[in-house]
Structure 1
Amino acid sequence: MSVSNFCKFVQFVLFFEAVGAAGQSETRRPSQARIEMFGATGSSILLPGFSKEHFQNVHFIRWTFLATQILDYYNTTQRPSFTNLYKNRCNFFPSNGSLVLRNVTMEDQGQYRVQINLNYSRSREIKLNVVEPLSQPLIMSDLTDVDTTVELICQVSVGKASSIQWRKDDEVITNGPQYQLVQNKLIISKAKKSDCGNYTCTVKNPVSEMNNLYFLSIHGLPPLHRYTVGLSIAALISAAATLFGIIILCLHENSQAIGLELHKKMLQFLQIATMLSLIILFAAFVCWVCGEGPSGIAVFMLVLLSVLLILTILAAYVMKASVSQWLSAILSIKLCSVMMDAVTPLGVIIVICASGILLEEVMKQAGKGCEPVANLQSSIIPAVAVPLIILLLLFGVYIMHYKKPKQQTTGTPPACQDEEDSSQPQCAEEVPLQATSEGNCSNSRSSANGQEPDQT
């Protein structure tokens, strides 16, 4: 053989070996690939074997778990021989070398290996992770009041969640200024009525996924709304008490029991009470505007209350002599009298009506959230009704005591007696006024003039 032919032969052999090595490396790579799998406790899991491309010229197969042998399979007998530990827990498939492991426990977690013909290059490693399935999550919350930090806690009693997802009305919640996600908690900062609704917690791990629904109801009112309710109730009760006082004063307008000075002091007291009611209601509307923003009705009521407050102050000063003379020089006396008599009742009536309207608006705003309006009504109605009932009972008792002395003073007619002769008989109380004037009273007047009565 010539030298040139020998060199060509050597190149051909090297080329063939390189091609064979490349092909062998391509067949080894998938067979030696490592797989990571997850299985749930108590379930069955399939440990994969080989594909058709790599499952050729198979004479012997062995499965092992760490250092423990699971089975041996000989192609000649076509029957797997299991060890006692896995004899009743496994199913082997000779078509591809896969293995089914039943009733998986935490002890089954680890490294599995399957080999063909005891050749390390024709083996596959499988890492099995055994995970406990999750139970249905339980959602809990602590505070659910307006303007507080509300925490929703999602917990599972069985298993360990690898991820937790929160949704509100089918919208996924992410971290932001309103919501913060910390481990298994959903934190709502400064909760509002709009934050109420359906919240869903979804927990996941590699072998299970569970969720639960929780309805969050935000209770109560914001601080400014609470101030509005309290001030409105105070203004309403104060105005009602002032109205009863005005009615009592009107009953004694022409009575001799109350003097002029006492009448004047009572009128001044009622005017001061009206001023107080107007100021309280004005503060209630200011809190409402700060909480809900300015509106046409609110601004109109603020202006109206300011005008009534100024008129009430002027009416109180009208009662002073110096101020009365000064106002009389500007206004007519009749107008001053109307101002003094009409401003206080008008202010009281407007306070009562405006307080009721404001309380109704607060309840409408409360009804926009998830809390039933009945919960708010159950707390507002007693606060308004109880003081008003007490005032009404006191007013009724006063009226009953007021009528008794009035009936006693008006029920007895005056006796008809001669002024000059006290010895003459008086007119009987039982005799009607018309008969008395025609009979005994005319005879007594004739005797007093020195004339004899007519016998006919």
Structure 2
Amino acid sequence: MLLCRPWELLGSGWVLLAGLLLPLQMFAGVVGALESKATAVGSRVLLPGLGNVTHIDSTCWEFLNGSRSQPILQHSRGSPSPTIQEPYKGRALFHPTNGSLLLEDVQESDSGVYKVTINVKESLEILLEVLKPVSRPQLWTSALVAQAAGQVLCRVAEGKVDTISWKKDGHPVPPGRASHLSHSLSILYLRAVQRSDCGSYSCNASNRVSWQETSLNVTIAGLSPRLQDALRVAVVAVVIAAISVWGLVFPVCQSAKLRIRGELWRWLSAYTCGLVSLSSGLAGAAGLLWMQEEGPSVAIILPEIALTYAIVINLLVTVAVTFRPAVFTQLKSKTAQSTMGYAAPAGVVLVVLTSSFLIKSIHQRHEEGCRGLVAVTTLTVSTAAVAALPLLTIFLCYHSRQRRLGECDTTWADRALEMSQPSSRDAADPQ
């Protein structure tokens, strides 16, 4: 009632304002509301008409592509079924009773704004979004080592992704640990990886029409590749040192009469000292690998110095015994003789102590992860077989020589006994 005669109340200014508001109200009635729908590629979707209209005289559907309008159909009351325009012909079904439009086998190109106009003056715009369903996410990890930083990555190959969420053992991952580098890639950061980070991680990717989830069982390695190499080298050093013990003990356990001598002694001594020198070098290499990973340590540096000394002395003994065995008989210094004599046993003890310390420390680091320990059984057996083969050859040669000497002694004894007994002719002659 007030708007019918505004000039009587507010004067000419309000008359002008009312004149501006009236076209806007009419435009709002024509444009109507904007609805939104989402559907998957290849499915069917129903675009509704105006639900508040009881009497429909005419209906017009069109696709708004930017500033251009592409007609779909136009229908008037009492007229036959409308002609569906391309590219909707054969896959659009119109319901004249309520003005709705059913689209079948929709594609991504069908995404956009659809407008229906009822009775010329009332309309509704529908924003249709046709999406590809998301594919199953791909999960993988970087190298996960205890106390180091790591990542779990989730990538979706197909489909527009709206959200990516993470779970560990069925529980949501705390916010802030995952970042989305793009719509299809998300990274879960693991800082200072520890044993508690082991478990099942799942990545859920979704959009408005679909969702997919993939799980991955994540294990943490307690040892880095460098420490794994250090463990292998330390085990080989201990095995070789243990084999060399047989070469040291065998001559000591023999009696003075049966003690190995001559050429076999040279080869046994040279090979034994060579094994000790090799095992010392391997133990030193394992210590260096450890310090490269863990940093310098006095507990490793001091054995490294002693191992270097053992390498040099045993290597000199090996060379001297092999090429100039007379050097040992020419040594007059008791200190030099003791150094040469005890270099191999001392080297074995040093290798065993250093390698045992490294193996124990590496095993403690392994306990910080949840992955299996490095397999060293095959390496141990193969190393022992290769290292022991020359020693077995020397021992077999020694026993073969002892057997021949025993047969010679028996032959001479039999002959002496035969010569000491009277012959049958002498026994027949009377004295």
Distance 1:265 1:114 in 2: 102
Q: Which residue of 2 aligns with 1:448?
A: none
Is 1:384 matched with 2:377?
Answer: no
Letter matched to residue 385 of structure 1: V
If the length of structure 2 is used for normalisation, what is the TM-score? 0.62
Is 1:68 matched with 2:81?
Answer: no
Q: Which residue of 2 aligns with 1:101?
A: 102
Q: Which residue of 1 aligns with 2:155?
A: 154
Distance 2:83 2:308 in 1: 99
Distance 2:346 2:48 in 1: 91
Letter matched to residue 426 of structure 1: S
CA contact (8 A) 1:219 1:371 kept: yes
Is 1:399 matched with 2:398?
Answer: no
Shift of the 111–244 alpha-carbon distance from structure 1 to 2, 3 Å rule, reads: same
Gaps of 5+ in 1: 1-6, 75-79, 329-335, 429-456
If the length of structure 1 is used for normalisation, what is the TM-score? 0.59
CA contact (8 A) 1:60 1:116 kept: yes
Distance 2:57 2:120 in 1: 7
Return the offset for 1:62: 1.8
Distance 1:18 1:311 in 2: 105
Shift of the 37–314 alpha-carbon distance from structure 1 to 2, 3 Å rule, reads: closer
Q: Which residue of 1 aligns with 2:82?
A: 83
Distance 2:394 2:263 in 1: 21
Measured on the aligned residues, the alpha-carbon RMSD in Å equals 5.6
Letter matched to residue 25 of structure 1: L
Letter matched to residue 67 of structure 1: P
Q: Which residue of 1 aligns with 2:429?
A: none
Q: Which residue of 1 aligns with 2:28?
A: 29
Q: Number of aligned residue pairs: give it.
A: 382
Q: Which residue of 2 aligns with 1:324?
A: 333
Identity %: 19
Distance 1:416 1:43 in 2: 108
CA contact (8 A) 1:180 1:186 kept: yes
Shift of the 81–366 alpha-carbon distance from structure 1 to 2, 3 Å rule, reads: farther
Distance 1:314 1:88 in 2: 94
Distance 2:82 2:341 in 1: 110
Letter matched to residue 139 of structure 1: Q
CA contact (8 A) 2:106 2:130 kept: yes
Deviation by residue 1:97-143 (Cα, 9 ceiling, x = unmatched):
7x363535237545432334312xx3233332333333x32527699
Q: Which residue of 1 aligns with 2:276?
A: 274
Return the offset for 1:201: 4.3
Structure with more contact order per residue of length (Cα contacts < 8 Å, sep ≥ 6) = 2
Return the offset for 1:262: 8.5
The structure having more radius of gyration, on CA atoms, is 1
Return the offset for 1:281: 0.7
Letter matched to residue 207 of structure 1: V
Q: Which residue of 2 aligns with 1:128?
A: 128
CA contact (8 A) 2:160 2:183 kept: no
Distance 2:180 2:14 in 1: 65
Distance 1:31 1:248 in 2: 109
Shift of the 27–43 alpha-carbon distance from structure 1 to 2, 3 Å rule, reads: farther
Distance 2:389 2:49 in 1: 93
Secondary structure at the aligned position of 2:333 is classed as helix
Secondary structure at the aligned position of 1:67 is classed as strand
Shift of the 124–305 alpha-carbon distance from structure 1 to 2, 3 Å rule, reads: closer
Distance 2:201 2:345 in 1: 53
Q: Which residue of 1 aligns with 2:291?
A: 289
